[in-house]
Structure 1
Amino acid sequence: MSSLDAALGRALTTPGISGAALVDAVTGLSYAELGDVSASQDSCEIAEIARIRLTRAGASGELENVIVTTSTQHLVTIQLARQGDPLLLCATVDRELTNLTWALRELNRHADELLA
């Protein structure tokens, strides 16, 4: 098991997080996936659409998070700043099993481990 898989595995220990993937924000290449990531397959496109729409609306600054909510889950995309192309941490979060704020806190904590 790679260190990326191990870090994603630790993220999945948070109640309600059923899948996580580390994706290159520019190419869409997935570096590691664990659990149910079927809902996060289009995370790069969703993040890009959000960035374009926010820019058109006059928002400034870098995109940090995108959260898409359905009736049963949240699709969370967190941009990880690093040297070179940014990475996206994409996670599937069950709405009934966890609080979104708690899940975001835990995902950000695990994101630091992914970049270490």
Structure 2
Amino acid sequence: MLSSLDVALGGTLTTQGLSGAALVDAVTGLAYATLGDVSGSQDACETADIARTRLHRAGVEGELESIIVTTATQHLVTLQMERTGDPLLLCANVDRDRTNITWALRDLARHADDLLR
């Protein structure tokens, strides 16, 4: 039987070009749910921590919202989701040739809201 979290995460796969998604605890790296190919999301916590540290050192104010790492074939998207307690990361692998990254980010933000309900 699928949990409501699995169902909500499954909604992310309706985003064109998205091949996988994971919901990860931003502090521990524990994956609460994964679906599809999440190979690029394995180091999302470390990447987010490095980005936060480097941005802070550079004097950038505000919270980290997203990280997009682009390779020759895909975008590895990490969205930080604020909640009570430790933040969550929504990580997704998006095929560069099959999607528009702007539309993918819009869809992922909408799905992130659904995951927190």
TM-score normalized by structure 1?
0.98
Distance 2:108 2:5 in 1: 14
- CA deviation vs aligned residue, 1:10-33 (integer Å, no higher than 9, x gap): 110111010000000000000000
CA distance in 2, matches of 1:38, 1:3: 23
Name the SS for the 2:45 alignment partner.
Answer: helix
User: Residue 25 of structure 2 corresponds to which residue in structure 1?
Assistant: 24
Alignment coverage as a number of residue pairs? 116
**How far, CA to CA, are the matches of 1:30 and 1:54 in structure 2?**
25
Q: What CA distance in whole angstroms lies between the structure 2 residues aligned with 1:67 and 1:18?
A: 15
1:79 partnered with 2:80: yes
Q: How does 1:29-44 map to 2 (within 5 A)?
A: 29-44=30-45
Q: Specify the SS of the correspondent of 1:71.
A: coil
CA offset digits 1:48-101 (Å, max 9, x no partner): 001111111110110000110001000000000100100000000000000000
Runs of 4+ aligned structure 1 residues displaced above 4 Å come to none
Counterpart AA for 1:78:
L
In the alignment, the residues of structure 2 paired with residue 67 and residue 51 of structure 1 have an alpha-carbon distance, to the nearest angstrom, of: 13
Partner Cα separation in structure 1 for residue 4 and residue 69 of structure 2 = 28
| Gaps in structure 1 of 5+ consecutive residues | none
Q: Which residue of 2 aligns with 1:56?
A: 57
Aligned residues with identical type, % of pairs: 73
Structure 1 Cα separation of the partners of residues 4 and 96 of structure 2: 28
Distance 1:70 1:93 in 2: 10
CA distance in 2: counterparts of 1:16 and 1:3, whole angstroms: 23
Unmatched segments (≥5 aa) in structure 2? none
Q: Distance in 2 between matches of 1:41 and 1:3?
A: 23
Matched residue of 2:14: which SS? coil
